[in-house]
Amino acid sequence: MQTEQVSELLADVADRLILPRFGALGTDDIQEKKPGDLVTVADRDAEVELARVLRDADPGVLVVGEEGVFTDPSSLEALPYAEHAWVIDPVDGTRNFARGRADFAVMLAEVRSAQTVRGWIWQPIHSRLYVVERGAGVTCNGVQLTPPPPSPRDVPLGASYLPVPGEEHAEVELVRSWGSCGIDYPKLIAGELDFLCYRSMFPWDHLPGALMVTELGGRIATDTGADYHAGVIGRRLVSATDPHLWQVARDALFGD
């Protein structure tokens, strides 16, 4: 599928299956997959529709969706070895969405032989569409983005979804993230933050934003220094606007 076709698909699915439920979910529309991990009828319906269209366009493609993997992890296991795959996060920031908060996104990544080649982050309420293509950079609503300028902050500023042990003594400043990678990564590439830190490394959360970061000169890697791509696992994931800040954040939080 052409890049514009995919962009239109995300907006269409959001308009039909996600936004009508925003602020209108009943108690039966929200479930816990496990304690603290929510899923809504919008997540499920949107993923089914996105997967259907992507498979119709390429019947042999592997589709890895967050909700599908919860019931059958085989597609996630196959992702690093697939010649061609799509990775779907139908509602990234489900807790925000379920609470009627605007900070959620629809995300999609195209992967070929474990390498992300294109990615999309659509923020329906904020009306911002971020698109990345390997070797061609990142756009927001069609405008080409440039790397953020050098950080003006004396102390690097980062965000993390959960507290990092020892962060209060680290030589960096940490704030809580926005509860959606589809919100966090755009803030990073805009220079509002110097780095991000996560515990989970699920591909649907990170592949689109990871490619955006690297296309704009940043780095994303595990705390042991393994560059992130489909199939990489580890204890912590650190993303920063440039390699130097990545090293500073990593060393400050996790030691030399």
Under 8 Å between Cβ of 131 and 212: no
How do strand 195-198 and strand 157-160 relate by DSSP bridges? parallel
Q: What percent of the chain is modeled with pLDDT above 70?
A: 96
Q: For 188-232, how does the pLDDT look when each residue is reduced to its tens digit (9 = 90+)? A: 999 999 999 999 999 999 999 999 999 999 999 999 999 999 999
Identity of the amino acid at 83: E
Q: For 236-254, how does the pLDDT look when each residue is reduced to its tens digit (9 = 90+)? A: 999 999 999 999 999 988 8
pLDDT at 234: 87
H helices of the chain, in order, are 3-13, 41-57, 66-71, 74-78, 94-98, 181-189, 203-215, 243-254
> Is residue 114 exposed (0-12), middle (13-18) or buried (19+ Cβ within 10 Å)?
middle
Confidence at 3, pLDDT banded by 50, 70, 90: very high
Residues 6+ apart with CB under 8 A from 124: 11, 14, 15, 18, 19, 22, 104, 105, 106
> How far lies 96's CA from each of 28, 31, 86, 153, 192, in Å?
17, 14, 24, 29, 21
Equal CATH topology for 3-144 and 157-254: no
Q: Does position 31 have pLDDT exceeding 80, yes or no?
A: no
Q: Domain 157-254 adopts which CATH fold? A: D-Maltodextrin-Binding Protein; domain 2 (3.40.190)
Mean pLDDT for 143-147 is: 97
pLDDT at 39: 78
Q: For 53-86, how does the pLDDT look when each residue is reduced to its tens digit (9 = 90+)? A: 999 999 999 999 988 898 889 999 999 999 999 9
Average pLDDT of the chain?
93
More confident residue, 195 or 171: 195
Mean pLDDT for 141-163 is: 92
Residue 238's closest CA among 226, 254, 250, 251?
250
Confidence at 29, pLDDT banded by 50, 70, 90: confident
Total residues belonging to the chain? 256
Confidence at 256, pLDDT banded by 50, 70, 90: low
More confident residue, 215 or 161: 215
Mean pLDDT for 105-117 is: 97
Residue 184's closest CA among 210, 149, 223?
210
Q: Which CATH superfamily is domain 3-144 in?
A: Fructose-1,6-Bisphosphatase, subunit A, domain 1 (3.30.540.10)
Residue owning tokens 């816990």: 32
Give the domain ranges of the chain: 3-144, 157-254
C-alpha 127: how far from chain center: 17
